[in-house]
Amino acid sequence: MSYSESDLPKINPKTGKAFPVQLDDESLAKSLDPLSYDVLRKAGTEVAFTGKYYESETIGVYKCKACSAELFRSETKFHSGCGWPSFYAPKSDDAVVLL
C-alpha cells in the first residue's frame, strides 16, 4: 500500500476545512530521509522496538516530520507492547485523520 497525492484528502472530514499544509510528493521526497518518506507516503514502518521515540519518556509534543503540525502530547503516550509509540488521543480533535 502507498499513498500518492491524489489518494490523500485535501479537506479534513472532521472540520470541512482544507488542510493547512499541502505537500506534493516530489518536494516531500526531497525534504525527508528515505525511511520517513516511506512511512509518510508508502505506509511503511520502522523496525519495531528500535525507533527513537519508542521508549522515550520526554515531556512534550510529538510533531509531524513533514510539516511540523502538532499531533500528540506526551501525556497521552502509553506502552502498548507493539514496538512503536502509542497514544490514546490526538493533541486536538482535528490533529489526526484516520484513512
Residue 92 lies in a domain: no
pTM, to two decimals:
0.75
State pLDDT tens for residues 42-84.
889 999 999 999 899 999 999 999 889 999 999 999 999 999 9
Report d(CA 88, CA 85) in Å as an integer. Answer: 10
Residue 81 lies in a domain: yes
How many domains does the chain contain in total?
A: 1
- Of all helices (H) and strands (E), which one includes residue 86? strand 86-87
User: Containing domain of residue 44, as a range?
Assistant: 5-87
Q: In whole angstroms, how large is the CA radius of gyration of the chain?
A: 14
- Report the CATH number at residue 25: 2.170.150.20
State pLDDT tens for residues 11-23.
777 777 777 777 8
